[in-house]
Amino acid sequence: MSKIAGHPYIPNSVPEIKEQMLKEIGIDSVEDIFKEIPDHLRFKGQMNLPEPILSEYALRRHVEGILAKNKNCKDNISFLGGGTWQHYVPSVCDTIASRDEFLTAYVGDAYSDHGKFQALFESASMIGELVDMDVVNTPTYDWANAIAISCRMAARINGRKEILVPKSMSPGRLMVVNNYCKPEIRVIPVDYDVNTGLLNLADLRRKISSNTSAVYFENPSFLGVIETQVEEISKIAKENGALVIVGVDPSSLGVLEAPAKYGADIVCGELQPFGMHMQWGGGLSGFIATRDEKEFVAEYPSLLFGITTTTKEGEYGFGEVFYERTSYASREKGKDFIGTCTALYGIVAGVYLALMGPQGMQELGEGIMQRVQYAISKLSKIKGVKLAFDGYHFKEFVLNFDKTGKTVAEINAGLKALNIFGGKDLSKDFPELGQSALYCITEVHTQEDIDKLVEALETFC
Amino acid sequence: MGIVKIRSDFQQARWNEPIIYEMSTPGVRGIIPPEPETAIKAIAGDVVGKLPEIIRRKTAPYLPEVSQKHVLAHWLRLSQETMGSNIGNDISEGTCTMKYNPRVNEALVAEPNFAELHPFQDEDTVQGILEIYYKFEQFIKEISGLDKVTFQPGGGNHAVYTAASVVRAYWEAKGELDKRTEVITTIFSHPCDAATPATAGFKIITIYPDEKGIPDIEALKAAVSERTAAIFMTNPEDIGIYNPKVDEFVKIVHDVGGLCFYDQANANAFLGVARAKEAGFDMCHFNVHKTFGAPHGCSGPATGAFCCTEELAKYLPVPTVEFDGNKYYLDYNRPESFGKVRDFYGVAGVVLKAYAWTMNLGAEGLRACADISVINNNYMEKKVLAIPGITSAFQGNGITRQEQIRYSFEKLHADTGVGTDDVNARIVDYGIPSYWTSHHPWVIPEPMTLEPCETYSKDDIDEYAAVLAQISKEAYENPEIVKTAPHRSSSHRRNDEASLDDPEKWAVTWRAYVKKHLSKKKEMDSVS
């Protein structure tokens, strides 16, 4: 007797049903269907896979047993950031994310999936308010891809083939951008000031030219610094006919200015802070926003969900805006490519923003900045520990340990023994910063958590 | 087995739900973030006030102000206005393999030992998830027959883009990228097989089918040359016909030095039946969220498993997941890697769910998915083709279909004026999700693509066919009811499709809508 007969996920695996269906088709065996595959192309034998764990309970025990080999950021105190951040996930976000309707829907039109269209329209609407833009796409894979797409959009808009990016950007994101811009767009790094972490304007002026399609910068930067020279950067870009692309961590936008207000033509960023668990980096979801001008809208590869009317007066309907631009409609003639990205995360981000409201976003931002300021004031007093960059920080900052005589790896190993995950080691990716680490503090950190870190570093350094 | 019954009095939730901004009342709150302790505030002071004017937000973001109950209710209602596949009879979304998505796997990804892992944690604190990645890679190697896998791509299209990036890296390394400028694909392969190599800089040549619906091998022979970088092809193609000469296609491309990528978005019918390896492919991919039971999430998060031969493995994105016999680790030391397609390591939750799903089924279960899928499809074909007005692509060519079929309402349209868009709106009135028509161009007129994978029972298939029969009957007897559908869905039919393509009218955010429509309406109201 087959183990799989009557498998809970496969109703027609019951032999009697299968036989009846074969009979109704008028064939004796499934081989009468697979006969279309020539014998030499057939896989012979059985795949070498583990024996199935059929009981749900046993399966759960098995997987949980493997996962138990992990150590998580709930049971330990983590100060890791750099592209995935530990924020509180409201219960309502988890409830909506786990609704089977949203969780298991796919590409149905607005007549079967009206709610999906409205939810994503609303998410776009709220993100649009955060960044002060009228057009926001359905989510991309992540921030890195959002930057990359923004760069290609810019290049198509003005026909220029160079993008300037800060040397301080995340190495992971930069690798994605470099690959996506190939072969026609050159990605040129612009120096940052090693004392302030801000973009080096002299280097920007040196590198910008009539070939520059866009200047990309991040606020806050990967190294945690709030870029304050935003007017100057935008001015330099615009004087040279280049567009301005700003990448944001939108959890800062309750307290930091909307990028469109200081010159951004395209804004992109990461939605993971808005209700997504970190999931080992699997919680990422990017967005892109622009003005509502045809020359910009025409260059989005992403689906755009628009609001419209129906035959019932007063009812909202939804549909795909300017669909012809997409590769779904126009194959290789479409704008880049589009596929399954991170729609569910986009929906959850909308739930998060509606829960937070304007006041919640302000309090979130202010509370994070206060915790960071508190941490910096304590940590920078530790002998040998130095705040790498003066200036303003949102939720991340770089600590330099050169004068402690220890490496970040050594310090982090010590912290780990105390159930603390120290900051991301930057010494390999940013050798010019010496033994430095990127620390992240959010609203999940209590004074006690920060004090524990301070005490531990006082001991090690 | 139950009685065939259609849901003739179905009514989808219709909440006439306002836009969340219309539910906003100043001062109302949905959640309160944790407040910093007094000592923190005292030491930090007015951090926001100290920010330079240019960068400090002057006005709070215009977000809705709604109580927690009303936020929850709003999105619960929107969810009810969405037909997820775990609820619906989602044979509809052909090429998408809408399997049952087991709840236990959702419980697993909610475990803090997974959900609360940071990607930069030390390797020794993430041995569990690394083990899942490594072991699932071994499964995929066995299923594909290829040598190395990455789960970094965030979906099927992204995996195909990864293939295009590998092809580019391969020719770049050989110093021939300036000569190898063309990628060949077939018209019934997914649009990404054309769009992603185009994004990567290649010129696309598209092969059309012969009279039997199989990609024209003579056209391929004419297309290949010393300019051919690769072929990107599906098999069976989206119309459900298996190309028995697939290995000859591979050979023709290999003979001119080109690489061969197998888009296995339609792999479900071939688990344990046929593999990329035996057909000679250098690369392939699986849509992990389709074939391996993970949910589609309204279109992601998802995972594309990209597989390749040992020869191409050096170009894979970093990091790969390795095992030294003692511990699992991330390998960044891959100097010929083309880089990355996504930050960190992919959508780990989908990999975890797929691992659990595969462990639950084993080799025999995977093979059962293939067997039952093709049996379901052929059973369904008989029923659907008996319905007046419906035919299938290349019907009568003597080829038995595999896991899906592209049908056509061309005859129904000619007879009654009711086309596939009408049927697709009407089907929702019977509680069935909108079906997948076809990607553009519609080579098959008035298309409908159905895929009754192993999830669906005989009763599901019978119900689906009965609904199609009912709609066909309506089309012949009372076409207006179909043309004006949906009647029992969450919304009615759009009445101004052109507005979605009109820059003066389209609105993809509420603020754009307010500017373009509500403000204008207000002006007009005040004038009148």
| Interchain proximity A370–B44, CB inside 8 Å | yes
| Interchain proximity B191–A98, CB inside 8 Å | no
How wide is the angle at C-alpha B257 spanned by C-alphas B255 and B259, nearest 5°? Answer: 105
Q: Is the distance from CB of A130 to CB of A253 less than 8 angstroms? A: yes
Question: Does residue B87 fall inside a structural domain?
Answer: no
| Interchain proximity B298–A82, CB inside 8 Å | no
Picking from A25, A306, A447, the nearest residue to B506 by CB comes out as: A306
Q: How far is CA A18 from the centre of its chain?
A: 45
pLDDT in tens, B59-113: 999 999 999 999 999 999 999 999 999 999 999 999 999 999 999 999 999 999 9
Residue B46, C-beta contacts closer than 8 angstroms, at least 6 positions apart: none
Amino acid B423 reads V
Half-sphere exposure at residue B394, Cβ-oriented, CA atoms within 13 angstroms: 21
CA distance A365 to A251: 7
Residue B2: what pLDDT?
56
Residue burial B77-99, b: 16+ Cβ < 10 Å; e: rest: bbbbbbbbbbbbbbbbbbbbbbb
Would you give the DSSP letter of residue A394? S
Residue A448, C-beta contacts closer than 8 angstroms, at least 6 positions apart: none
The stretch A191-196 carries a mean pLDDT of 96
Picking from B33, B61, B65, the nearest residue to A443 by CB comes out as: B33
Chain A closest CA to B420's CA: distance in Å? 13
ipTM of the complex: 0.98
3-state secondary structure of A47: coil
Residue A45: what pLDDT?
87
Mutation for testing the B interface, residue in A22, A217, A256, A279 having most B CBs under 10 Å: A279
| Interchain proximity A278–B116, CB inside 8 Å | yes
Nearest to A130 by CA among B510, B70, B25: B510
Alpha-helix runs per DSSP H in B145-245: 156-174, 192-199, 217-223
pLDDT of A113 > 80? The answer is: yes
| Interchain proximity A115–B80, CB inside 8 Å | yes
Which chain A residues touch B340 with a CB distance below 8 Å? 144, 172, 175-176, 179
Chain B closest CA to A243's CA: distance in Å? 19
Q: Could you please state the CATH topology (level 3) that the domain comprising A77-88+361-460 is classified under.
A: Aspartate Aminotransferase, domain 1 (3.90.1150)
Question: Does residue B14 fall inside a structural domain?
Answer: no
Picking from B142, B191, B299, the nearest residue to A340 by CB comes out as: B299
Which chain B residues touch A262 with a CB distance below 8 Å? 54-55
Question: Does residue B383 fall inside a structural domain?
Answer: no
Residue B231 host element (H or E): strand B228-234
Sign of CA dihedral A219, A162, A304, B96: negative
| Interchain proximity B55–A392, CB inside 8 Å | yes
pLDDT of A52 > 70? The answer is: yes
| Interchain proximity B45–A373, CB inside 8 Å | yes
CA distance B123 to B166: 27
pLDDT in tens, B435-455: 999 988 899 999 999 999 999
- Strands (DSSP E) contained in B92-227 are 148-150, 182-186, 203-207
Note down the domain range covering B514.
Answer: 497-527
Q: Is the distance from CB of A396 to CB of A383 less than 8 angstroms? A: no
pLDDT in tens, A279-294: 999 999 999 999 999 9
Q: Of the residues B324, B358, B392, which one is the last residue of a structural domain? A: B358
Which residue in chain B is spatially nearest to A363 when comparing CA positions? Answer: B33
Per-residue confidence at B336, pLDDT binned at 50, 70, 90?
very high
Q: Could you please state the CATH topology (level 3) that the domain comprising A91-352 is classified under.
A: Aspartate Aminotransferase; domain 2 (3.40.640)
Residue B440: what pLDDT?
86
Question: Does residue B281 fall inside a structural domain?
Answer: yes
Q: Is the distance from CB of B23 to CB of B70 less than 8 angstroms? A: yes
pLDDT of A106 > 60? The answer is: yes
Which chain B residues touch A310 with a CB distance below 8 Å? 491-495
Mean pLDDT value across chain B: 96
Q: How many domains does chain B have?
A: 2
| Interchain proximity A63–B198, CB inside 8 Å | no
Which chain B residues touch A357 with a CB distance below 8 Å? 28-30, 63-66
Picking from B58, B201, B440, the nearest residue to A330 by CB comes out as: B440
pLDDT in tens, A327-354: 999 999 999 999 999 999 999 999 999 9
CA distance A352 to A366: 17
All structural domains of chain A with their residue ranges: 11-67, 77-88+361-460, 91-352
Which residue in chain B is spatially nearest to A341 when comparing CA positions? Answer: B300
Question: Does residue B368 fall inside a structural domain?
Answer: no
Assign residue B231 the CATH number of its domain.
3.40.640.10
